[in-house]
Amino acid sequence: MKIPPELRPTRQAGGVAGFDLALRAGTTEFFTGQPAPTWGINGSYLGPTVRVSRGDKVAMRVTNEIGEPTTLHWHGMRLPAKMDGGPHQMIAPRATWTPEWTVDQPAATSWYHPHPHERTAMHVYRGAAGLLLIDDEHTNALDLPSEYGIDDIPLIIQDKRFNDDGTLHEAAVDSGTFGFLGDEILINGTHNPSLEVTAERVRFRILNASNARVYRVGFADNRSFHVIGNDAGLLPEPVQVDRVKLSPGERAEIVVAFTAAERVVMNSLGEDHSDADSIERDEFDLLRITAAARLSPAKTLPARLSAEPAIEPRTGAQVRRFVLTGTEINDKTMDMRRIDEVVPAGAQEIWELDNTTYAHNFHIHEVAFRVLDINGAPPPAYMRGPKDTVFVPKRAKVRLAVTFGTYTDPGSPYMYHCHILRHEDQGMMGQFVIAKPGTEQQVPRTLPDAAHH
Ligand code: C2O
Ligand code: CU
Ligand code: CU
C-alpha cells in the first residue's frame, strides 16, 4: 500500500510555515501497464499529507494546473472565511491562490479537497484530495503511536469503478440518487492493498474520501480495537469497539493491537439498510495486513486523551433547525448570493437536523460539534468526540452542539452541506456568516453579484 508522502513546511521569515501545493492532471497506473488519466496534488493521484502544528502561521501557495477552475478547501480547519477554499474562492486555470491563517485548534486528522460550485464530485473522484494533519503539544506528549508510515498510518478510503482499460469509470459520478457508488476499493490510491505492520499497536488515521459510500470499518476476525479520535480531535478517552461507521468526509483515528506473524483483513460491512431509498448494503475487503515476525513493543494506550473541555450546549443556546427533504435544506437549494444564517462570533448553538427522506450526512465548515443525540438517543460512545461531519440516517433527527469561531466577516460565507458529493453538487448546501455579536440584524442577506461566479 502506498503511503502519501508527508509535506513539511518551508520555514519562512517571521515563523511562517509555507506549503506549495499544485493541483495537477496526470496519469496513474492503478493496474500495471494501464495508465489512467487522474488528478492529484504535487503528483498524479491524491496529494501529500500536509502537516501543521497548533500555533503555526500557515502560508499556502495553491496553483491550479488541472485546466479548469477549481478551489482547494481545508476541511476541518478553523480559519477566516476568505481562506476556507469553498466555492467563493475559485482559482482560475494557471492561477495561484495564497491563503494564510494561524492554526488554533486541537490536534486532528483533517483533509483538503476541491469545492467548486456544482463540480466537487468529479474533482474529488479524479483524485484531488489529501490529508491535513494538525499536531499540538498536548497530543505529542501523549505517547500515542506517531511514527508516520510505521505505526501511525493514514488510510484514505475510496470506492471506484474501472473501465476494462484500467481508467476510472466516470459516467455514474453525476447521476442517480446518491451519485457514485463503486465496486472496487482504493486505499491511498492503491488497488488491492496489503500492508506489513511492524508494531504491536498501530494507529490508523482513516478518512472516508469517497463520493457517497458509507463504510463500517473493522476486521474480518471481528477483533476489537480502540477509537481515539473523531473528525476534529481526540476523544476524552479511548473507546473499545469492533466497528466504526464513516460516511463521506468523516475521519476516525483508531489503535489496533497485532501479534507477531499474524494475518488479518481490515474490511467494511457497509450499511445494513434494506429499503431501496438508502445506500445499498455492500461488503468490501479494505486492506490485507500481515504482522512481521518481530514487532516493536506496544506503548500502553493513555487512559485520558483530549485535554479540551467537551462541547456542552449552553442553557438558552440558540437552536437552528434544518429540514432535509430530498436534496433540499429548509426547502431551498444552494444560492451563492444568499446568506442563509448569521451566527454571532464565538456562539455555541444547537443545530437540529430533521431528515424527512433518504440518508444524508451533514458537514459544517469552520466549526467543531458534538453529536447530542440521534432520534433522541445518545450516539455510540466512539462518536462523542469533536466532529465536523455526521451521518444522518434516513428519516432521522440528529441534534448537534456546535461551537463557532471568532473570525468575523459578514460578507464571506462558510458552507454547511451534505457531504455525499452528488447531493452537494445538486445544491444541498447553505451558507452562514459569522458576525460581531449584536450586529446580526444589520448583515445583508444577499451578496453582491460579483461574488457569484
Ligand atoms: Cu469536505 Cu464543504 O467540505
Ligand atoms: Cu469542509
Ligand atoms: Cu445527501
**Residue pLDDT, tens place only, 322-346:** 999 999 999 999 999 999 999 999 9
| Closest Cα to atom 3 of ligand 1 | 75
How far does the centroid of ligand 2 lie from the alpha carbon of residue 227, in Å?
22
pTM equals: 0.97
51: β partners:
133
* CATH for 374: 2.60.40.420
Answer whether 209's CB lies under 8 Å from 226's CB: no
SS3 77: coil
SS3 423: helix
In a domain, 419, yes or no: yes
Which residue, 111, 101, 108, is CA-closest to 139?
Answer: 108
Helices (H), 84-174: 120-125, 137-140
Q: Render pLDDT for 410-426 as a digit per residue (tens, 0 to 9).
A: 999 999 999 999 999 99
- 72 CB under 6 A from ligand 1? no
Span 95-108, mean pLDDT? 98
Q: Copy the grid coordinates of residue 117.
A: 460550485
**Residue 313: is its pLDDT beyond 90?**
no
In the prediction, which pLDDT does 12 show? Answer: 80
In eight-state DSSP terms, residue 292 is E
Q: Render pLDDT for 6-51 as a digit per residue (tens, 0 to 9).
A: 998 988 878 899 999 999 999 999 999 999 999 999 999 999 999 9
Which residue, 54, 42, 83, is CA-closest to 141?
Answer: 54
Give the domain-ending residue among 242, 265, 296. 296
- 115 CB under 6 A from ligand 1? yes
Q: Render pLDDT for 283-300 as a digit per residue (tens, 0 to 9).
A: 999 999 999 999 999 889
Same domain, 126 and 164: no
How far does the centroid of ligand 3 lie from the alpha carbon of residue 249, in Å?
12
- 251 CB under 6 A from ligand 1? no
How far does the centroid of ligand 2 lie from the alpha carbon of residue 57, in Å?
20
Same domain, 133 and 49: yes
In a domain, 24, yes or no: yes
Amino acid letter, 148: Y
CA 224, CA 241: separation in Å to the nearest integer?
5
- 123 CB under 6 A from ligand 1? no
How far does Cα 368 stand from its chain's mean position?
A: 12
CA 167, CA 169: separation in Å to the nearest integer?
6
Q: Is 300 exposed, middle or buried (0-12, 13-18, 19+ CB in 10 A)?
A: exposed
- 305 CB under 6 A from ligand 1? no
Nearest listed ligand to the Cα of residue 325: 3
Same domain, 214 and 332: no
Helices (H), 77-160: 120-125, 137-140
Same domain, 290 and 166: yes
How far does the centroid of ligand 2 lie from the alpha carbon of residue 415, in Å?
7
Contacts (Cβ under 8 Å, ≥6 apart) of 262? 290, 291
Span 66-88, mean pLDDT? 98
Domain with 430 in it = 319-452
Contacts (Cβ under 8 Å, ≥6 apart) of 331? 323, 325
- pLDDT band for 273, please (50, 70, 90 cuts): low
Nearest listed ligand to the Cα of residue 232: 2
Give the domain-ending residue among 296, 329, 361. 296
Contacts (Cβ under 8 Å, ≥6 apart) of 429? 329, 333, 334, 415, 416, 417, 418
How far does the centroid of ligand 3 lie from the alpha carbon of residue 316, in Å?
30
In the prediction, which pLDDT does 280 show? Answer: 58
Same domain, 160 and 28: no
- 249 CB under 6 A from ligand 1? yes
Within 13 Å of residue 407, how many CA atoms lie on the same side as its CB?
20
Same domain, 118 and 21: yes
CA 233, CA 134: separation in Å to the nearest integer?
9
- 415 CB under 6 A from ligand 1? yes
- 423 CB under 6 A from ligand 1? no
Q: Concatenated DSSP letters for 225-259? A: EEEEEETTEEEEEEEEES-EEE-TT-EEEEEEE--
- 417 CB under 6 A from ligand 1? yes
SS3 24: strand
- Point out the ligand 1 atom lying closest to the alpha carbon of residue 429: 2
Instruction: Output the CA–CA distances (angstroms, integers) from residue 307 to 56, 138, 235, 303, 376, in the order listed.
Output: 20, 7, 9, 12, 28
In a domain, 39, yes or no: yes
Domain count along the chain: 3
In a domain, 144, yes or no: no
17: β partners:
11, 58
- 75 CB under 6 A from ligand 1? yes
How far does the centroid of ligand 2 lie from the alpha carbon of residue 31, in Å?
31
CA 164, CA 188: separation in Å to the nearest integer?
21
In a domain, 308, yes or no: no
Same domain, 133 and 55: yes
In a domain, 157, yes or no: yes
| 80-89, 364-373, 443-452: the lowest-pLDDT one | 443-452
How far does the centroid of ligand 2 lie from the alpha carbon of residue 155, in Å?
19
CA 329, CA 213: separation in Å to the nearest integer?
21
How far does Cα 397 stand from its chain's mean position?
A: 22
Q: Concatenated DSSP letters for 314-365? A: PTT--EEEEEEETTEETTB---TTB--EEEETT-EEEEEEEE-SS-EEEEES
In a domain, 143, yes or no: no
Nearest listed ligand to the Cα of residue 361: 3
CA 349, CA 346: separation in Å to the nearest integer?
10
- Point out the ligand 1 atom lying closest to the alpha carbon of residue 365: 2
In the prediction, which pLDDT does 117 show? Answer: 97
Same domain, 243 and 333: no
Give the domain-ending residue among 138, 165, 181. 138
- 363 CB under 6 A from ligand 1? yes
How far does the centroid of ligand 1 lie from the alpha carbon of residue 299, in Å?
35
280: β partners:
none
Same domain, 278 and 323: no
In a domain, 416, yes or no: yes
How far does the centroid of ligand 2 lie from the alpha carbon of residue 78, in Å?
10
Same domain, 213 and 292: yes
Same domain, 231 and 100: no
Q: Concatenated DSSP letters for 154-171? A: EEEEEEE-B-TTSPBP-T
Same domain, 287 and 159: yes
- 73 CB under 6 A from ligand 1? yes
